[in-house]
Copies of this chain bind each other. A is one copy, B any other.
Amino acid sequence: MSAADETREQPRFTGMALDRAHGSRKDADWLARQRRDPAARVVMAGADGVAIRDDEVVRAPAELLGDDDPVLLGLEDGAPRFALDLDGLDDARRAAALDGGELVGLRDAGAVLARAEAGLAAYVMALLNWHRRHRFCANCGHATGIAEAGDSRHCPHCGADHFPRTDPVVIMTVEHDGRLLLGRRSGWPPGRLSVLAGFVAPGESAEEAVVREVREESGILVRDPVFIASQPWPFPASLMLGFHAESDGGVPRPTDGELEEVHWLDLDAVRAAMGDGESPFRLPPPISIARFLIDRWVAGRGAEPVTGPSAW
């Protein structure tokens, strides 16, 4: 099955196959044994991408880890896999670590890797992005250290434990009368359109965030959002929550500065923008849940009337 086929069923970057070993991480003896396991390997990434060779994520010798507290990704068929941040190495050690592999941006990696490998790439990027940008305690400002084999960081000064941050984002197809609401964000190339999206705010549900974001960005009112699928999106730390919502229509207008333009496109116009015809527009790449949602809308013309468990 090709990468393109696979993404029709689940969004890209799902499917990571390692056992995260959450039940064993606090056991220092267990962790020491994992370090010494001859089958141990390291997966390497930096802020710019993940190390890949021959269309697979590189599993490099565990000796690269050095003496720092290790970040354990988990177990792959029982064998430990650690994470190594290439951005913490000097140029010579970095080149040696890559050993002929190539640092590939996660978007590009997601387009070429098989499903479980793309999931592993997303996981190592997400975890190292967090460690790299959270080396200090947000509560007191003191330097923190790796704990639970990389599942958390501990502050020795105020005692706070910090866990990986994942930001929930809602993203949604919005339909009215057979047309789809698509917008172009400030800074995107001319013609690039996508579905609307935004971070879930403090004190609101995901469904409320869908309604608020569409209203804030376009002035359009929607109702009864229906959940479709979610996707890890470590750019640097998002969890995309994909919804579909119906609207009673209206003229969309960029209202809060997030969008430069926003339009209703009918099915033919969306198909053309997908590459099936002449179009001034371009849609997001297949690795994104945005495109997953748009493809799903085109295939089914959106959600059927809700009769199942989501009707609550």
Q: Is the CB of B204 within 8 A of A123?
A: yes
> Which residue on B lies nearest to A305, using beta carbons?
B308
- For the complex formed, measure the closest distance between the CB of A137 and the CB atoms of chain B, giving whole angstroms: 6
Q: Is the CB of A138 within 8 A of B140?
A: no
- For the complex formed, measure the closest distance between the CB of A8 and the CB atoms of chain B, giving whole angstroms: 9
Is A22 interfacial (CB 8 A cutoff)? yes
* Known A-B contacts A216-B23, A308-B304, A309-B226; A202 and B126 likewise in contact (beta carbons under 8 Å): yes
Residues in B whose Cβ lies below 8 Å from that of A127: 202-203
Is A205 interfacial (CB 8 A cutoff)? yes
Q: Is the CB of B123 within 8 A of A133?
A: no
Q: Is the CB of A133 within 8 A of B125?
A: no
Is A231 interfacial (CB 8 A cutoff)? yes
Residues in B whose Cβ lies below 8 Å from that of A306: 308-309
Q: Interface size for chain A: under 10, 10 to 19, 20 to 34, or 35 or more residues?
A: 35 or more
Instruction: Tell me the bound Cα distance from A303 to B312 in angstroms.
Output: 11
Q: Which A1-53 residues have C-beta < 8 A from chain B?
A: 9-11, 13-14, 16, 20, 22-23
Contact with B along A102-132 (1 / 0, CB 8 A): 0000000000000000011011111100100
Is A199 interfacial (CB 8 A cutoff)? yes
Q: List 29 A-B contacts (CB under 8 A).
A: A9-B312, A10-B205, A13-B203, A14-B204, A23-B257, A119-B204, A123-B203, A123-B204, A124-B203, A126-B202, A126-B203, A133-B139, A135-B141, A136-B138, A136-B139, A136-B141, A141-B141, A141-B143, A168-B168, A202-B232, A204-B232, A205-B231, A206-B239, A206-B241, A226-B308, A226-B309, A227-B310, A229-B312, A306-B309
